[in-house]
Structure 1
């Protein structure tokens, strides 16, 4: 019996790097977006609480599906088991958001 795959997804969000774990990952029908479903967070039995993981749990608590812009994705890995979801500052990296064209106002 094969265990379901778990994916580690790293992406940029407002000058921070989010690292989350999920069971399902798709190229969205919404052009240019990645769909993430069934977020996986650490066990409730852990004694040490990571504040960034708690923030992510609260942020994605009632989310069924999240759409992440492709240009924000840094890396996707298929892993054997979930790790600790975390938020880290994006400073010191040479990854930048793809510049968009500002809308023209009439």
Structure 2
């Protein structure tokens, strides 16, 4: 039987993150939820989704996230993974980080 897949939606620095993981439990730290075995799309070659790559880079060395319970919006058990996302908390629109352009200040 395959491990369950969870979609975790949480607030972080004024943005709403939507990530996927195989492990979610009440944490040993009081007031925190443990999220582990993060799931990201692995695409060879051309980058298809810059948000997915940004999340994969941000959580690259993370074994377990300890999320404060009050930051969690929702946890859903899903059948399959959709695109991970970072959204603006106020508008709900996806936050897309543009690719850096040579010679243009950041």
Same fold (TM over 0.5): yes
Question: What are the equivalent positions in structure 2 for 1:1-106 lying under 5 Å apart?
Answer: 2-44=1-43, 49-92=48-91
- Work out the CA distance in 1 between the residues paired with 2:73 and 2:52: 19
Equivalent residue pairs, number: 92
- Structure 2: any 5+ residue segments left out of the alignment? 93-106
Normalising to structure 2: TM-score of the pair?
0.79
Deviating runs (4+, > 4 A) in structure 1?
45-48
SS of 1:55's partner is helix
RMSD: 1.7
Which deviations, in whole Å up to 9, do the C-alpha atoms of 1:6-31 show, x marking residues without a partner? 00000000000000000000100101
Shift of 1:67: 0.5
SS of 1:56's partner is helix
- Work out the CA distance in 2 between the residues paired with 1:14 and 1:65: 19
- Structure 1: any 5+ residue segments left out of the alignment? 94-106
- Work out the CA distance in 2 between the residues paired with 1:32 and 1:78: 21
Shift of 1:82: 1.5
SS of 2:52's partner is helix
Normalising to structure 1: TM-score of the pair?
0.79
> What is aligned with 1:97?
none
